Amino acid sequence: MPRHIVCLTFDFDTASGFIARGLTTPTPLSRGEFGRIGARRILELLKRYDAPGTWFTPGFTIESFPAECEAIVAAGHEIGHHSWAHVPPASQSRAEEEADMARAIESIVKLTGAAPRGYRSPSWDLSDATIELLVANGFDYDSSLMGADYEPYKARNGDRGKVGEPFHFGRETDLMEMPISWTMDDHPHFEFYRTPDFLMPGLQSPRAVMESWKDEFTYMKKITDWGILTYTMHPYVIGRGYRMLAFEGLMDFLGSEGAVFLTMADAAREARARLFP
């Protein structure tokens, strides 16, 4: 019997990403703060559709907005690791990355009573040390790489690319990779973002974006009997009213098409048992 799994994942960054990029004046901080309202709306929607979600939540958010984070846990959703300070690991030394990872694990243990099963890197850029650190810290899965779409795979440690040389494949680890893509992420589609040397126009029609997101599910169903599709959203982005309406439309579609909603931890467990028995 075909089984098509959907992971609804929410990167609950609030202001951490703005602060990590040096945007610390009141207005960018308030853009992140809007995530509290977005989170409330998403929780209500997930409850209505009886769908579990995975919330990759930085330690910063856990300590700054404890009530919202406790509500997520109380509703039965998964809390995933998303660093403490939302600084991309590739820009940190190994010692800095290790310390930040440990601090964020501690925040999650305090919130949920257990260590996180999964990790997603801020800005989806791993360092050369990340996979090794995740294995050493007992993580079950990572969700930061783009080497596949519907079929998880084993993350490799030590992939290398060098101009003029063929691709060097690193050593396979036991960490499940739950692949993602910028195409299935709300942030680049919707978020208007400008710095002196960078412009991200965003502000696309959410209904148009959701048509593409629906097509992605339809294609997965067409070519495979079993697969996992991951959508990534940010409460301060998707939480705006007209985007929430479009998100509801996506949920109606997925429900009518027989999607099975799982937390990423459960999906990773199923993928491991099925693909690597």
Which window, 10-18, 22-30, 39-47, 195-203, contacts Zn ion (CB under 5 A)? 10-18
Q: Does 186 bind Zn ion (CB under 5 A)?
A: no
Q: Does 13 bind Zn ion (CB under 5 A)?
A: yes
| Shortest Å, Cβ 255 to Zn ion | 27
The answer to whether 118 and 268 are in contact (CB under 8 A) is: yes
Instruction: Map residues 113-132 to x or -, x wherever contact with Zn ion holds by CB under 5 A.
Output: ---------x----------
Q: Which two tokens stand for residue 125?
A: 């850029």
Q: Does 11 bind Zn ion (CB under 5 A)?
A: yes
Specify the residue, 122 or 179, whose C-beta has the smaller distance to Zn ion.
Answer: 122
| Shortest Å, Cβ 24 to Zn ion | 17
Specify the residue, 106 or 191, whose C-beta has the smaller distance to Zn ion.
Answer: 191
Distance (Å, whole) CA 61 – CA 74: 16
| Residue corresponding to tokens 């990355």 | 97
Contacts of residue 109, Cβ cutoff 8 Å, sequence gap at least 6: 115
Q: Does 177 bind Zn ion (CB under 5 A)?
A: no
Specify the residue, 60 or 261, whose C-beta has the smaller distance to Zn ion.
Answer: 60
Distance (Å, whole) CA 190 – CA 162: 34
| Shortest Å, Cβ 260 to Zn ion | 26
Specify the residue, 38 or 122, whose C-beta has the smaller distance to Zn ion.
Answer: 122
Long-range contact set of residues 270-277: C-beta below 8 Å, sequence gap at least 24:
270/5, 271/151, 271/152, 271/176, 271/178, 271/228, 272/140, 272/152, 272/176, 274/226, 275/151, 275/152, 275/153, 276/154
Specify the residue, 195 or 205, whose C-beta has the smaller distance to Zn ion.
Answer: 195
| Shortest Å, Cβ 16 to Zn ion | 7
The answer to whether 191 and 202 are in contact (CB under 8 A) is: yes
Using CB positions, name the residue nearest to Zn ion.
11
Distance (Å, whole) CA 203 – CA 190: 4
| Shortest Å, Cβ 11 to Zn ion | 4
Distance (Å, whole) CA 52 – CA 75: 9
Q: Does 185 bind Zn ion (CB under 5 A)?
A: no
**Residue ranges that bind Zn ion, judged by CB under 5 A:** 11, 13, 122
